Amino acid sequence: MARKIKLKFDESLVEFSLRKISKSKIYGERRIEYRLNGEVLENAKITTDGMHILPKSSIAQQYVNERNEYTSISEIIYTDPDGKELPQYESHFNKEIMIEVFELSNFFNFQTDDIYLMEVEDDLQSSLRNFYEKCLKYFNEGKLIKTTYAFRKTPFPKNMVFIPKDNKIIICVGDFRGPVFNESKINIDELISQLDEENLDEELLEMW
């Protein structure tokens, strides 16, 4: 079984792992093949100077500093555009994570990257059932449960949203962003009210 995540709710603890739900296993897979006279062609890259033809897996990627020296990920500090250091979140595998309840309507601030099925060991099925019932109770009240998702230490943690369905819990992993409101820059009603002004005709007829 995969690595376990410890989730604390009320006074209980549920230890679970994630099984990825793959779209290709449900609906099948689609890919594009390039052919010349029936022969399947290979994808490759060519440098802009045309000097090097680079077949698959011939390019490495690396973090480097200003002197093009290798830099380890552990040495990197993440900052915002103002230069302020961003806090790092510990991996969810290294600690007990807490749940957070939110309104169902706020789910639409969320965008899913991956979906998983919540799985527990056979002897811990009762804890999963308790958690499912809790999720379902909240869902019927118009609420959902979420928690932080950080596979490894990161300044950009994601969220896990727990959705109860058919006695299983589906976990959507993704990101929340608040709504962006838009408004009219011009008050059309105010413009219309100007049309009633008495001297409007004179103003419109005035040649400048």
Partner 1 sequence: MKIKLKFGDATATFLLSPTHPKTPHYKKTKDGDIIKFRRMIKFDKSLREEQLKKDSDLYVKLLDSDIEYDLNLTGKIINRTYRIKLDKNFKPVYKYEKFDIRIKPDGKLEERKHKIRVSNIKQELPVVISEKAISYPDFIKRYVLKKSYNIIHEDEGNFDLIYNLAKDLHEKQQLRQIFAFNEETLKPEPLIITHEGTLYNLAFLQGIVDNRRYCLRLLLSDMELRWEPKI
Q: At closest approach, how far in Å is the CB of 25 from partner 1? A: 4
The nearest distance, CB 11 to partner 1, in angstroms, is 28
Min dist CB 10 to partner 1, Å, is 23
Residues 6+ apart with CB under 8 A from 148: 89, 92, 97, 157, 158, 159, 160
User: Looking at beta carbons only, is 62 or 194 nearer to partner 1?
Assistant: 62
Task: Give the nearer residue to partner 1 in terms of CB position, either 52 or 153.
Answer: 52
DSSP three-state, residue 185: coil
The one-letter code for the residue type at 174 is: G
Q: Which helix (H) or strand (E) holds 163?
A: strand 158-165
Q: How far is the CB of 17 from partner 1 (least distance, A)?
A: 13
CB closer to partner 1, 65 vs 126: 65
Give Cβ neighbours of residue 5 (< 8 Å, ≥ 6 apart). Answer: 15, 16, 17, 18, 92, 93, 97
Question: Following CA atoms 124, 128, 133, 137 in sequence, which dihedral angle do they give, to the nearest 10 degrees?
Answer: 140
If the CB atoms of residues 11 and 31 are measured against partner 1, the closer one turns out to be 31
